[in-house]
Amino acid sequence: MGKVYLVGAGPGNEGLITLKGMELLKQCDAVIYDRLVSPQLLNCLKKDCHMVYVGKEAGNHSMKQADINKLLIEYAKTYKMVVRLKGGDPFVFGRGGEEAQELISHGIPFEVVPGVTSAIAVPVAAGIPVTHRGISQSFHVITGHTMTGTELDLEQYQILAKLGGTLIFLMGLASIDKIVDKLLQSGKSADTPVAVISNGTTANQITVRGRLATIVEVVKKEQLPSPAIIVIGETAKLNYKSVNKINYQAISKTASLITIGITGTELMRKKLREKLEDEGYQVLDVCDMKIVETAESNILRECLKRIDTYNWLLFTSQNAIRLFFTKMNDLGIDHRRLSRIKFAVIGSGSKDELRKHGYLADFIPNKYTTRDLAYQFSEIVANGEKVLIPRARQGSKELLEVLTKKEIAYQEIPFYDVVGQLSSQLDNDLINDIDCFVFASASGVNSFFKELNKMNLALSLKNKIACIGKVTSEAVIKFNNPVDIIANECDVNGLVSRINDYMNIYGG
């Protein structure tokens, strides 16, 4: 018999799951997940993990709660490790208590992993603290509907109306007119501030504000979609949103939201996601790139043993720098043997990565492109100096062509490659929903399109393509796809800047 983990996925944004919850997702054999769970979280599952969707929404239940309970029992007897992934926190109106009781009755071991409840996180994402000194000393969380469909009676609303803290209604959007009416009948001031937040903590977030007397009209005018949270009280007029890192769109439903699909290693995707979300884009992981050593890695091993015979180390990526120093450390090479070697890097990202390992770049081109690196670097290398270039298998040919033309003595070692795995969520419908695909390397391009072909999928004419540089864009063109956006500088900042320029002119 296996073990079941009731895991809270958080309020919507995939970054708000707990570390323990994420680790369990990576290890589990089966996952049973809800509608409000971010699809991005499913990208971290093992390839052979069995997934079951049991999402519920008003008027459209994928599976009844009794059937979900039965499924948990069945899967616990079939799989060693089962995750029941629930939006928010399992025990905050998530019916996690019912599922726990069912597991207990069948003698099945389980563990509850708390999640960040939307009752607190969603107001925060809208800049609203649920408590504030001198304004609200308490907050009260109320469900907008119950399992039986019964509602709070007027006497209960009279109690709520007298409370001095913040009232937070979950799942109450469909009943907002009744909630407001009963609070007004119970003596709550018509001037009480109210905020309604739809799709909280996600890039689709919409926040509208008003007073108790006006909020129903505002919500109807904006046609807010569920899920939404209603915040009633003096803190609802506050807006500390500027402290949030993510630039949530607190605007009307009709605002244009651009969806961007990103590819790359975990580190590269993290950097892209942070920059793009800061600009207000919705970001989806579409291809996870993994670094693998090539047979030439053995050649690098031998070169490292005589590393002090080289005059320059030239790096064209952050990955190359990280892997180079990892290899040095694994072999026990004394870093002091690099004391007479100079370093050349392609851009600011690689310069910063080199600094992490205790070295300053001796050369960086004034424009972060492979072409500028090649030509400018060849002008400063002295006669007789030897250059070692440890890099990816699918590196730029232009770099080597220029160095050869300039009669620079170099040794290139393609000691690693990058292979990709597409998101398990990627299908034709999702592809059509993505406005722009972003590629950060030629190897990423090759892996993405090869895997896409295996799945009989293809990009549509609607999809735009953004590339970090010329080499990457040439790789895209080889797969018969046009490139719309090419970064002038080969780093994340340059890429995001070009995406912004393009979207400001042409839109999604």
501, containing H or E segment: helix 492-506
Are 469 and 347 in contact by the 8 Å Cβ rule? The answer is: no
CA atoms within 13 A on the CB side of 430: 17
Are 199 and 225 in contact by the 8 Å Cβ rule? The answer is: yes
What tokens were used for 495? Answer: 């890429």
| Beta carbons within 10 angstroms of residue 106's beta carbon | 12
Q: Return d(Cα 368, Cα 156) in angstroms, integer.
A: 65
Q: Return d(Cα 216, Cα 502) in angstroms, integer.
A: 38
Long-range CB contacts (< 8 A, 24+ apart) of 207-215? 207/126, 207/248, 207/250, 208/252, 209/236, 209/237, 212/180, 212/183, 212/184, 212/188, 213/184, 215/176, 215/180
Quick check: is 34 catalytic? yes
Quick check: is 501 catalytic? no
Q: Which of 89, 171, 268, 288 is catalytic?
A: 171
- Contact partners, residue 295, CB within 8 Å, separation at least 6: none
Q: Are strands 166-170 and 139-143 parallel, antiparallel or unpaired?
A: parallel
Tell me the β-bridge partners of 285. Answer: 262
Exposure letters 386-412 (e unless 16+ CB within 10 A, then b): ebbbbbbbbbbebbeebbeeeebebeb
Q: Which of 34, 89, 435, 484 is catalytic?
A: 34
Q: Which of 3, 22, 51, 56 is catalytic?
A: 56
Are 292 and 415 in contact by the 8 Å Cβ rule? The answer is: no
Packed helices 215-222 and 176-185: angle between N→C axes, nearest 10 degrees: 170
**3-state secondary structure labels for all residues of 245-279:** CCCCCCCCCCCCCCEEEEEECHHHHHHHHHHHHHC
Question: Tokens 């690196």 belong to which residue?
Answer: 373
Q: Which residues are catalytic?
A: 34, 56, 171
